[in-house]
Amino acid sequence: MNVEQAYKDANALLEGHFLLASGNHSSRYLQSAKVLEYPKKAAELTDALAKMIKEAGVEADTVCAPALGGVLAGYELARSLDVRSIFVEKDGEGGMVLRRGFEVAEGEKIIICEDIITTGGSAFKAAQAIEALGGKIVAFASLANRGFCKRQGSNLEAKPECKLPQNIPFFALDDFTFEMYTPEECPMCRRGEGEAVKPGSKG
Ligand code: ZN
């Protein structure tokens, strides 16, 4: 499947002149929730992700997502893998916690799933919360990889910013690596292509 085209078709891959949360500018932006707007399309993406995971011989009992961003992707991946779906949420102190009556058994094999992995910070915190309860992290998964972490089958190497442990496989459908510029060196600014806008700020 052509993952980039699927993102474009869903208007999840935006092109323009964007102001990122970091203060940097970019000509492309992933509005990752948009690709999950239509459940049947979402299922096609997670079916492809589940296939990669199964073909690598990874077996799991449960998919766990960090809320809020990962919940839909995690739920659909659990459906594709025919396993249980749970999620962790922010504990208000910088970590993640399992609430709402969800439980993890000792040794339960768990995949941490996000919609998009940038540095993997939230996914790593989710993994820590699950491991503290006795769960075993067998893989990380996301629909899109922003190119800071190395996914299985990609030639791109992990960057120092990657928070995911190197000894656990990371599966993603594709790499989406975009150039980022400081405002001073931004080519769109230099060409006078208007002010950089916050993605999604139009509505
Ligand atoms: Zn700019």
Ligand 1 center to residue 19 CA distance, Å?
7
Q: State the distance from the centre of ligand 1 to the C-alpha of 87, rounded, in angstroms.
A: 37
Ligand 1 centroid distance, CA of 194 (Å): 8
Give pLDDT, residue 203: 43
What does the pLDDT read at residue 201? 59
- Cis status, amide bond into 49, omega within 30 of 0: no
> Distance, CA 137 to ligand 1 centroid (Å)?
40
> How far, in Å, CA of 146 to CA of 58, rounded?
23
What is the value of pTM for the model shown?
0.91
Q: Three-class SS string for the chain?
A: CCHHHHHHHCCCEEEEEEECCCCCEEEEEECHHHHHCCHHHHHHHHHHHHHHHHHCCCCCCEEEEECCCCHHHHHHHHHHHCCEEEEEEECCCCCEEECCCCCCCCCCEEEEEEEEECCCHHHHHHHHHHHHCCCEEEEEEEEEECCCCCCCCCCCCCCCCCCCCCCCCEEEEEECCCCCECHHHCHHHHCCCCCCECCCCCC
What is the CA 138 to chain-centroid distance, rounded?
16
Distance 20 CA to ligand 1 centre (A): 10
β-strands 109-117, 136-145: how paired?
parallel
Residue-wise burial string across 109-142, b where 16 or more C-beta atoms lie within 10 A, e elsewhere: bbbbbbbbbbbbebbbbbbebbeebebebbbbbb
CA 124 to ligand 1 center in whole angstroms: 31
pLDDT in single tens digits along all 203 residues of the chain: 789 999 999 999 999 999 988 899 999 999 888 999 999 999 999 999 999 999 999 999 999 999 999 999 999 999 999 999 999 999 999 999 999 999 999 999 999 999 999 899 999 999 999 999 999 999 999 999 999 999 999 999 999 999 999 999 999 999 999 888 999 999 999 999 899 999 865 54
Distance 191 CA to ligand 1 centre (A): 9
User: For residue 158, how far is its CA from the centre of ligand 1 (angstroms)?
Assistant: 26
CA of 15 to the centre of ligand 1 (A): 13
